[in-house]
């Protein structure tokens, strides 16, 4: 564990590090998913009925959009499995109200907050290829375990959001379980939008 921590700290402290790069470290218990971390590794993963949906190295794994006093937190990546070729997917959580967030710096207000996904002020929207569906959540929680600033040369470069989620929903007419969800993503001026 200690050598891994040292390697990650060296990577994070490097001024030349590309902050948007993803670093996938396998979870020892669930090797198809990234290990839960709070280091800004720009990864996420969740099982959709035991098929992994994870961030990829090509696209931005997370985006935040602030609009009409709502905050949209989107995770984008691919579904992987024996019977699935990689396909572009996104899972979007929409909060209302937006917790007084004005820019990416304000996202640290999400630290140690938990959201009941059945709440009428929450939406979960799942997109796969051309199909987008607002999920009918049966039960579940989204938790921001840690929200912190990453400083480079004493200047905030991004807000790191780390947490977990899992829920059951009716997706496209089928009862579906999203389990063991975790995210550790950096949000900066490059992936925070305010239309």
Domain range summary for the chain, segments of one domain joined by +: 2-193
Q: How confident is the model at residue 57 (pLDDT cuts 50, 70, 90)?
A: confident
pTM: 0.87
Distance linking the first and last C-alpha atoms of the chain: 43
Tokens representing 78 are 């691919």
129 torsion bin: left (phi>0), alpha (psi -120 to 50), beta (else): left
Instruction: Please check whether residue 147 is in contact with residue 160, taking contact to mean a CB–CB distance below 8 angstroms.
Output: yes
> In terms of pLDDT, which residue wins out, 191 or 15?
191
Q: Cα dihedral sign for 124, 126, 132, 137?
A: negative
> What whole-number distance in Å separates Cα of residue 60 and Cα of residue 82?
25
Average pLDDT, stretch 31-43? 95
pLDDT in tens, 127-156: 987 789 999 999 999 999 999 999 889 888
In the 8-state DSSP scheme, what is residue 96? S
Q: How confident is the model at residue 16 (pLDDT cuts 50, 70, 90)?
A: very low
Residue 20: per-residue pLDDT: 66
Alpha helix stretches (DSSP H) within 86-194: none
């Amino acid at each position: 564990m200690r050598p891994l921590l040292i390697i990650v700290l060296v990577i994070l402290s490097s001024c030349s590090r590309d902050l948007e790069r993803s670093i996938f470290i396998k979870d020892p218990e669930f090797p198809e998913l990234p290990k839960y971390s709070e280091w800004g590794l720009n990864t996420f993963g969740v099982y959709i009925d035991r098929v992994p949906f994870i961030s990829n190295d090509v696209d931005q794994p997370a985006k935040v959009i602030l609009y009409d006093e709502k905050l949209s937190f989107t995770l984008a990546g691919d579904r992987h499995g024996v019977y699935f070729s990689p396909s572009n997917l996104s899972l979007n959580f929409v909060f209302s109200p937006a917790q007084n967030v004005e820019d990416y710096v304000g996202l640290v207000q999400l630290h140690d907050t938990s959201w009941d996904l059945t709440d009428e002020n929450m939406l979960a929207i799942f997109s796969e290829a051309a199909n987008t569906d607002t999920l009918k959540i049966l039960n579940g929680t989204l938790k921001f375990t840690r929200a912190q600033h990453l400083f480079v040369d004493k200047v905030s470069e991004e807000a790191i959001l780390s947490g977990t989620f899992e829920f059951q929903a009716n997706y496209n007419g089928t009862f579906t379980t999203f389990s063991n969800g975790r995210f550790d993503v950096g949000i900066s001026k490059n992936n925070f939008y305010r239309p």
